[in-house]
Structures are given as structure tokens and as C-alpha cells.
Amino acid sequence: MRNKIVAGNWKMNLNYEEAIQLGTNLNAWIADNQPTAEVIIAPSFIYLQTLLEAVDEQYLKIASQDISAHAKGAYTGDVSAEQLDSIGLDFAIVGHSERRDYQGESDTIIAEKLKQAFKHQINPIFCVGEKLEEREAGDHFSVVKTQVLNALTYQDKEDLSRLIIAYEPVWAIGTGKTATPEQAQEIHAFIRKVLNDEFGVEVANNTSILYGGSVNAANADEIFSQPDIDGGLVGGASLKYDDFVQIIAACK
Ligand code: PEP
């Protein structure tokens, strides 16, 4: 059965000391409070190894914010799945909308990134979500279905047991606007149906589908109470210890 998961995407925030402090404080809170949800943080690449050593992975898991589409070679600035695996990393965010927008990542590139992650036993948090104009045109179901199928039909079916999906409507990321719990539930149920139709009931039932988009301490409870929402991918609020622990506690 699928896990409850709260993942914090730190993006390009926090200096070295702040990152270690927040990571170790979260680790201690989780050890003391034993929340239901599995907790993952995604710091910048430069802090991954130090954080892997500073926290206990039975309490707090570490993810990269991206992964290269290539196995190795002349790809300046990229970090490969093999390199991440070699430092003991088990999770990676793949296909975040900021990378789709600012780095021009296509579904094809994202499919290659997922392939690399699976090849090295890294569990991808694969992000999908529509833009505002697509929702206003009523195209959100078809946009999300296309993103899911373009990336996943290319994978080996057995690898999908490692898959985590984050539904993140682009219009809700960092904007303070959240999808209503009903809007989020509707599309999470739709994604699960797509998984069921294309990859079978086991994949559909076992894949955690996280909601992302301005989740905060005040709205987390209501969002996480929906049956097809298995937790959250949290940006801004994951940088604030007090808020993030409340969000983790809300995910039951
Ligand atoms: C994100 O970047 O994945 C995200 C959901 O950000 P925020 O929570 O700040 O909207």
C-alpha cells in the first residue's frame, strides 16, 4: 500500500549553516514525534552529502532537486543518477515545473531522467501540473494525462513500484493560491485512474500522489484529508521549521 509522504523542496534557498541547522532540527523533531508521514527534504546539490551524513535516514530522507537525463560524460553542470546513488541518495525530484519552464525540460527529457533514476534505484518524485491558461480553458485533465503518459509509458513497468507523483498546478506554486481540496482530489483521482487504466491496479494503488502548490500550516489538514491525496510537496513553507513540522503532523 502507498505511503503518506511530506517532501520539502528547498529550491535555491539556505546557506550551508542554515541547511544543516534546519535538517538536523527536523531530524530531531521526527525522532521525537514519530509522525505517520515519511519526510523527505530536497536541498541544493552541494548540501546533499553533508545532510545525508548529518541526519538519520530512518527519520529524514534526502532528495536531489533534479537529476541528469544522461548517464555520464560531457554534460557540464549536470549530476548523474549514478553519482547520486554513489553517495547513498534514494530520492530525486524530477520534472518540476520551474525546470520545465526555465530550463526548457520537455516530457521526453523528463522520461529520460526518470529512466536514469530507476536504473540506479532512486525513487523519483515526478511532477506534473497544468498552467493557469490550461485550467481556465478546461484542459487540465488532458494536459496532466499527457505529461503522465509521455513520461511513464517509456519506463519498465516493474520500475513503477518506485514512483511517487506530485500534482502541482503551476498557478498554485509560490503564488499563495491553492487548489481547493475538491479540485485537488478530483485531479488526484483522475491521475490514479490513468495509472489504473494504463499500468494496472497495483501501480494505481501503490503510487503515492502528493499535492503541491502553496501548502501551508493552515491549509494542510484539509488538503491531506482527501482520499487520493497522499501528502504534499511543499516549497516555501518547508523552509520554516515551525510551519513545516505542523504540515508533517497534519499528514496522517
Ligand atoms: C514547489 O515548488 O514544489 C511548491 C509546491 O512550492 P510552494 O509550496 O512554495 O508553492
Confirm or reject: Cβ of 216 under 6 Å from ligand 1: no
Confirm or reject: Cβ of 124 under 6 Å from ligand 1: no
Does residue 219 register a pLDDT over 90?
A: yes
Query: Are the CB atoms for 107 and 71 separated by under 8 Å?
Result: no
**How much is the pLDDT for 164?**
98
96 is catalytic: yes
- Cα–ligand 1 centroid distance for 213 (angstroms): 5
Confirm or reject: Cβ of 195 under 6 Å from ligand 1: no
- Bigger pLDDT: 154 vs 113: 113
5-250 has which fold?
TIM Barrel (3.20.20)
Q: What is the mean pLDDT of residues 89-93?
A: 98
**How much is the pLDDT for 124?**
98
Q: Report the mean per-residue pLDDT for the chain.
A: 97
**What is the per-residue pLDDT across 93-120, written as a single tens digit (0 to 9) for each?**
999 999 999 999 999 999 999 999 999 9
**What is the per-residue pLDDT across 18-41, written as a single tens digit (0 to 9) for each?**
999 999 999 999 999 999 999 999
DSSP state of 96: -
Enumerate the β-bridge partners of residue 167.
128, 211
Kindly give, in sequence order, each residue whose CB lies less than 8 Å from that of residue 120, ignoring residues fewer than 6 positions away: 81, 82, 84, 85
